Amino acid sequence: MVSRRALMLAAGALASSRTSAQTQYPNVFPRPLNFPRDHGAHPDYRTEWWYMTGWLDGPGAPIGFQITFFRTRTTIDPAIPSAFAAKQLVIAHAAIADPARGALLHDERIARTGFGAASASTEDTDVLLDRWRLVRSLQSGAYRGIVAARGFTLELDARPTQPLLLQGEAGYSRKGPLATQASYYYSQPQLAVRARVTQDGKSEERAGQGWLDHEWSSTLLADDATGWDWIGMNLDDGSALTAFSIRSRQSGSAPLHAYASLRPRGGNVQTFGPHEVRFSTLTDWTSPRTRATWPVSREVRIGDRTFTTQPLMDDQELDSRTSTGAVYWEGASRLLESGKPVGRGYLEMTGYVAPIRL
């Protein structure tokens, strides 16, 4: 649950501070990404996120996990010297998908940067919010995450086993018909994860595979976009599969944009354009809370290959309307091809309750 105090502080600062009449955010354009600098935050841009998902095995049945840190630049005048002005906000989500529970165990936080409560380093990945943190080691490239959440604690170490995967055109990722409707986007697939998961006072050591996405943008979606469908899948043969489709508000119309990438272990990235990527529905599930109908099992056609997704459990809905303003389906899912399991990862869907606005 979002801290009431954090919401009140953020809302009070927003209400009491001057806002810039014409806030200027930089556009996204093709440029080389620069590491380790681009692992860090980009505070001039409107929105940014570090999104880590994965599957953890044993003891017992596998479970899924998700940790996301968002940074957003508000419209408050950056020239205001007051430390109380909420010029930057940090938002965080975390969830455990455990079939034994049948629904997500999740929590969220929000705070303005400053006062030691929230920060996002510009030098490398190091995002802090209260007792939640995600930090990257410059020496090893490993990510260390800790989430002390309501109802659970997740501590993890995620180590790269493959090079970074630059999405789109060397990290410039189109999201719509206009060149400015884009993000800078890279992934770190096939992470080797070791974790300690604590639920109901009981701790377990688990290990598995993870995936990290880092994106930042100022104008991510077209005005008539309603949401997106996205998969990030670690294949059993070491390949990494990414695909997304940006849906239009006009029912039945073609996606505003679609994209996929497939990188074999040790091989070159193959990318697929809008006409080579298609998401379709296999199985629906209706949420008893939001009444939204989510297509929780998908057929994903990429080039001449057809994959299907199978959820770890149907109820993986995450209602974050009190923080990001959106309802997501963040789903640990198996990947099948010709009916045979070939990988695991996450399916994310937005815009099925209301059109998403970031």
Percent of the chain with pLDDT strictly greater than 70: 91
Whether 277 contacts 258, CB under 8 Å:
yes
Over residues 293-299, mean pLDDT:
97
pLDDT of residue 6: 41
Is the predicted pLDDT of residue 127 greater than 60, yes or no? yes
Kindly indicate the confidence band of residue 307, based on its pLDDT and cuts at 50, 70 and 90.
Answer: very high
Whether 332 contacts 341, CB under 8 Å:
no
Q: For residues 53 and 51, give the distance between their C-alpha atoms in angstroms, rounded to a whole number.
A: 7
Interval 68-119: pLDDT, tens: 999 999 988 777 877 777 899 999 999 999 999 999 999 999 999 988 899 9
Interval 327-351: pLDDT, tens: 999 999 999 999 999 999 999 999 9
Kindly indicate the confidence band of residue 22, based on its pLDDT and cuts at 50, 70 and 90.
Answer: low
Kindly indicate the confidence band of residue 357, based on its pLDDT and cuts at 50, 70 and 90.
Answer: low
pLDDT of residue 171: 98
**Residue that wins the pLDDT comparison between 24 and 21:** 24
Q: Give CA separation, 192 vs 35, 284, 288, in Å.
A: 21, 32, 35
Percent of the chain with pLDDT strictly greater than 90: 79
CA angle 293, 297, 301 (to 5 degrees): 120
First to last CA, the chain: 20
Interval 175-218: pLDDT, tens: 999 999 999 999 999 999 999 999 988 999 999 999 999 999 99
Over residues 151-163, mean pLDDT:
97
pLDDT of residue 352: 92
Is the predicted pLDDT of residue 275 greater than 50, yes or no? yes
Q: For residues 265 and 209, give the distance between their C-alpha atoms in angstroms, rounded to a whole number.
A: 15
pLDDT of residue 358: 60
Q: For residues 71 and 155, give the distance between their C-alpha atoms in angstroms, rounded to a whole number.
A: 21
Q: Among 52-61, 71-80, 304-313, which stretch is predicted with the lowest mean pLDDT?
A: 71-80
Q: CA neighbours within 13 Å on the CB side: how many for 27?
A: 7
pTM of the model: 0.91
Q: Is 351 left (phi over 0), alpha (psi -120 to 50) or beta?
A: left
Q: Which domains does the chain have, with CATH numbers?
A: 4-17+34-350 (2.40.370.10)
> Which segment, 3-12, 95-104, 320-329, is predicted with the most confidence on average?
95-104
3-state secondary structure the chain: CCCHHHHHHHHHHHHHCCECCCCCCCCCCCCCCCCCHHHCCCCCCCEEEEEEEEEEECCCCCEEEEEEEEEEECCECCCCCCCCCCCEEEEEEEEEECCCCCCCEEEEEEEECECCCEEECCCCCEEEECCEEEEECCCCCCEEEEEEECCEEEEEEEECCCCCEECCECCEEECCCCCCCEEEEEEEEEEEEEEEEEECCEEEEEEEEEEEEEEEECCCCCCCEEEEEEEEEEECCCCEEEEEEEEECCCCCCCCEEEEEEECCCCCCEEECHHHEEEEEEEEEECCCCCCEEEEEEEEEECCEEEEEEECCCCCEEEECCCCCEEEEEEEEEEEECCEEEEEEEEEEECCCCCCCC
pLDDT of residue 21: 47
Is the predicted pLDDT of residue 16 greater than 90, yes or no? no
Cis amide bond preceding 59, omega within 30 = yes
Whether 187 contacts 165, CB under 8 Å:
yes
Residues 6+ apart with CB under 8 A from 123: 36, 37, 40
pLDDT of residue 19: 47
